[in-house]
Structure 1
Amino acid sequence: METIHTLSELLRNSDCQFKIFDLGRRIKVIDNQTFEQIEKGYQPYPFPLQRKAHIAIAYWNQAKQPWIWFLKFELDERGLLKQADIGNFIKFVVEAMGTRLSQEMSEDQQQKLANNPYTFKPAEDKMAVFHSQIRADLDLPCSQYYEHAQHYFKAGLGWQNWQTVGLQGITDICARLGIDQNGVEVRKALPHLPSEPLYALLGALEHNDLPEKLAMRIAELAQAEIDSPEPDLFLLSALMRALSGAERHISAPILEQVLNSPRLSHQEVLIGTAGRSWHLLTDVSVAERFLVRLAQTGNQSLFNQLFADLVMLPELRLVLLPLLHSTPSPELAQALLNLQQSAKA
């Protein structure tokens, strides 16, 4: 039998179609060709989190009912997947299922495959978003909660009667913003929502590309918090994370205003920016101001953690590394010095 070196080969040989997602930060599709380059060690993993790749692989045959693997792989210091780990996982798959994957798995096979060090279980809210997205991608039916959630967001239940609205219904709506007037209804509903459904909605929107009008409405709500004499910093953080799928001209001015204010640069807001809106830090001056605010929190361990995490992102590495050797603000210089000392310890 010909040796199989990558998961992409294994899936293609099984006559399966497949789609790869990053599940560590925002739920983002990784192009199949790019993923094969990553598997072969030709390019770094694009969205590392805590020096790991958190991957979902959905594959399907003609029946279009997807099978899904949730996989977590360590990355080396260059951000590359370790070839040995890919090879080991392929061995687990082949031992459990053989080299043809497009068959139903027995309970015994499932148990055999589950018993490996590379699978992980995503958080419940992320799992809900992911399932909604993959079902929307494959044009599969929504969950049983979809219509009820739609009814709520059209003000059909009364805004206070959110308790029967399922999270899966909300994520189904967010995965289908372009159909059934969902984007419009969500936009209209936003100012009326009590905090529980509002936070659930914003959490689901973090993983979607936003229509412009919806993004602008969320930005207006964020602006209202920025302008408030007593801003709700947790709400501001949730609104900013939801804007991570907005066009840059909408999300970047919000972040800039926040970074201009010591009061608004709460660590919750900074953590959300690092986790969801890191692409806004590709501008060197924004990245530097972000790190200054992070240094000013006085939380050195958080500074170390976020800097180490962000510098692993290929698009930020060449933005952040030069700051180690420049002459930034005194607080940032001290935080970077402490970071380097802790790395040597």
Structure 2
Amino acid sequence: MNAIHNLSQLLEQSQCQFKIFDLGRRIQAIDNKEFKQVEMGQKPYPYPLQRHANLAVAYWNDKHQPWIWFLKFPLDERGLLNQTDIGNFLKYVTEAFSVKSSGALLSQELTEEQQQHLANNPYTFKPNDDKMAVFHSLIRADLGLPTSQYYEHAQHYFSGDLGWSHWQTVGLQGITDICSRLNSEQNGVLIRKALTNMAAEPNAQPALYALLGALEHVTLTDKLAERLAELTKQECQLSQPDLFLISAYVRALSGAHSDYLEPVLETILAKPELSHTEVLIAIAGRCWAQLNTEARAGKFLLRLAQTKNQNLFNQLFADLVMIPDLRFTFLPLLSHTPSPELANALYALQQQTKSGQ
């Protein structure tokens, strides 16, 4: 076999099927061809978070039982992966499988010692429990594998039969199983109807937040997106809106078609009182794709400047400008903005950047 220079080669030569996912922002697949270009330094990583690529690499054989690596690689100032980091990780893999860069058959079972060797490297990381649950549900749904033991009970709860306040016995994995299968067994309809009832029941808030958290990482049906948009706008119109709930709604809407998401963002950005830091963090972390116009990017940065939290402003601006699709939307704002508040925040950002060099 040929020498192995990147993960894609290793997986291809090992006769495995595989998928690459970003886990830094929304859980979303990265096209295998695009990922190979990223590995070869031909294009920047598409979804950077704090100048890192947070990856899940899932690979499987004909039995469709996946093996998964969770990997985190630093990015340079252009958003490119460091080839040395990729090479170093490949060394850990080949050493764990006791082969020499020659296309190990990754589908072989690892001993406990091999697993420990592979895990003991600086590039692996553990996602938080919520994201881990969503990812496992998504990959199992993608491969047609059975749901968890908590699935049917979660369906029973969201049907309303158990009473909305009786959420304590509902397992998170059951909730993520439903959300990863919105187009199966009328789950999308079930969730859409449940949302209205749960929003009206204060004692159901823990389950509502868990549900919204799972919806962050899936593609929404139009009717479900419409319902979430309605609930978000209703909350925004209250004299004392729950800003944390609005943040959770915004995150959940990140998988909606822009026809539903963009009007919600415009509603929020039109009112300074709705632009709480948690809401702005939600927009930057999950709905960044909608900040691709100079007008909306400017509105977002203005609201961020108005929080008077310069450190957060600097962090989110630096994070967003690293996203390839947003770089040329945000960079021009450094030299042209009609708002004195935003101009002052951008000036402070530039001064801090210069002092840090």
Question: TM-score of the superposition, structure 2-length normalised?
Answer: 0.96
User: Are the aligned partners of 2:89 and 2:123 in contact in 1 as well (CA < 8 Å)?
Assistant: yes
Q: Residue in 2 aligned with 1:59?
A: 59
Which residue of structure 2 aligns with residue 268 of structure 1? Answer: 278
In 2, distance between residues paired with 1:206 and 1:62?
Answer: 30
Secondary structure, in 3 states, of the residue corresponding to 1:4?
A: coil
Residue 72 (structure 1) aligns with: 72
Q: How many angstroms apart in 1 are the aligned matches of 2:3 and 2:15?
A: 17
The match for 1:114 is 119
Equivalent residue, structure 1, for 2:208: 198
Q: Are 2:181 and 1:176 equivalent residues in the alignment? A: yes
Q: How far apart, CA to CA, are the structure 1 residues paired with 2:249 and 2:290?
A: 15
Aligned pairs (5 A) from 1:315-330: 315-330=325-340
- What is the letter of the counterpart of residue 56 of structure 2? A
Deviation per CA, 1:66-105: give whole Å up to 9, x if none.
0000000000000001111001100110010132211111
TM-superposed CA distance for 1:222, in Å, is 0.3
2:14 corresponds in structure 1 to 14
Residue 279 of structure 2 is aligned to residue 279 of structure 1 = no
Is it true that 1:343 corresponds to 2:353 in the alignment?
A: yes
Asked whether the 8 Å contact 2:233–2:267 carries over to 1, the reply is no
Matches within 5 A, 1:85-96: 85-96=85-96
Deviations 1:242-279 (A, max 9, x none): 10010101110110011110101111100000000000
- Report the alpha carbon displacement of residue 328 of structure 1 after superposing the two structures with TM: 2.9
Residue 216 of structure 1 corresponds to 226
Which residue, 127, 136, 143 being the options, matches 1:138? 143
Q: 1:298 aligns with which of 308, 316, 321?
A: 308
**Per-residue Cα deviation, 1:281-308 (whole angstroms, up to 9, x for no partner):** 0011000000000000000000000000
AA matched with 2:175: I
Residue by residue over 1:151-198, the C-alpha shift from the partner in whole angstroms, topping out at 9 and shown as x without a partner, is 111112111111000000000000000001100000010022210000
How big is each residue's C-alpha offset from its partner over 1:103-143, in whole Å with a ceiling of 9 and x where there is no partner?
A: 11110100110111000000000000000000000000000
List alignment gaps of at least 5 residues for structure 1.
Answer: none
Identity %: 66
Task: Flag structure 2 segments of 5+ consecutive residues without an equivalent.
Answer: 199-203
SS of structure 1 residue aligned to 2:134: helix
Three-state SS of the structure 1 residue aligned to 2:138 is helix
Partner Cα separation in structure 2 for residue 187 and residue 29 of structure 1: 25
Aligned to 2:25: 25
> Could you tell me how far apart the structure 2 residues matched to 1:327 and 1:51 are?
26
Look up the SS of the partner of 2:55 in the other structure. strand
Partner of 2:84: 84
Give, as a single letter, the amino acid of the residue that structure 2 aligns with 1:148: H
> Following TM superposition, where does structure 1 have runs of at least 4 consecutive aligned residues deviating by more than 6 angstroms?
none
Which residue of the partner structure matches residue 104 of structure 1?
109
Residue in 2 aligned with 1:244? 254
Aligned CA-pair RMSD: 0.7
CA distance in 2, matches of 1:323, 1:74: 26
